[in-house]
Amino acid sequence: MEIGKGVQRWVVDISQWDPSPHEFSHAMSFLPQHEHSSITRYVKSEDRKRALVSKLLQYALVHEVLGIPFDEIVIKRTVEGKPYLDGYKEDSELPNFNFNASHHGDYVAIASEPICIVGLDIVSHSIPEKETIPEFIQNFSSYFSRLEWDNIVNAGSFDDLLNEFYRYWCLKEAFVKAIGTGVGYRLDSVEFHHTRGTNIFVKVDGKVLKEWRFWLYDLGKRHTRTVEQLIPISCKGGEIPTEQENDACQAEEIA
């Protein structure tokens, strides 16, 4: 769905797409040759499928918003891995056109903004198989503030604990993806506050970043062992979409 020019939120459920080798190659042929290795480098077919759809969404979004033919689109990545449109000529309506994509589990998504800095992350709430839930989340304890960690470990049942862990984790991922840094960023200095996934705000080194907005959405359960899948969208500066507009945006499922 498009709120205004350059504001896009697309979500694709790829769980039912089982392409033959020929169909996969045909879909990949829409991308420039130099993009192919970033897809075929994956060993598992599911990882290749997610990577392919993510790339296609990026090119399709640029084409949809800016009208650039596929074969003229050049998408590069910063050192930290954030995609950007190379050679973009600033538009008065799109002075800071940027986009961010994410994929995990059954879903691939992309979000774009004409002015705001946008970050996006999807996480599939998988239950660890080789260790207990407390043991699993303990591996990530250094990435959380004391308040966040207390909220996680005191969330309730093991399922509640895992839910809270993934909620905080993907919000942090969306934030660092928006600002263009990796997980090497001091994530423990980025402290999120929320009320059951709403009224979200963030502090960095104890200071509230008032210009940031966050939305957290449940994409639904994939199977009985999955808790939920979420897309937190972070947006800084410019004209901030309203809660109602973002609710409408996240509902757009194009496959």
Mean pLDDT, 10 residues at a time, the chain of 255 residues: 75 94 97 95 96 97 94 90 86 88 92 90 89 96 97 95 92 89 79 91 94 86 33 57 48 44
Q: According to the model, what pLDDT value does residue 61 have? A: 96
17 backbone dihedrals φ, ψ, rounded to 5°: -90, 115
Number of domains in the chain: 2
Does some domain include residue 102? no
Answer whether residue 210 is part of any domain. yes
Q: How far apart, in Å, are the Cα atoms of 232 and each of 34, 51, 62?
A: 30, 20, 21
pLDDT at 225: 25
What is the pLDDT, as a whole number, of residue 233? 66
Report residue 3 as tokens: 């709120």
Domain assignment present for residue 202? The answer is yes
pLDDT at 12: 93
- Do residues 133 and 199 both lie within one domain? yes
**169 and 200 assigned to the same domain:** yes
pLDDT of residue 218: 83
Cα angle 41, 179, 230; round to 5: 70
Q: What is the pLDDT, as a whole number, of residue 235?
A: 64
Give the structural domain span for 159.
Answer: 116-237
- Res 250: pLDDT: 45
159 and 90, same structural domain? no
Distance, CA of 52 to CA of 137 (rounded, Å): 30
User: Which of 80, 112, 144 delimits the end of a domain?
Assistant: 112
Q: d(Cα 189, Cα 226) in Å, to the nearest integer?
A: 29
For residue 253, is it within any domain? no
Tokens 């008065």 belong to: 92
Residues 231 and 146 in one domain: yes
Q: Is residue 201 part of a domain?
A: yes
State the Cα–Cα distance between residues 135 and 154, nearest whole angstrom: 15
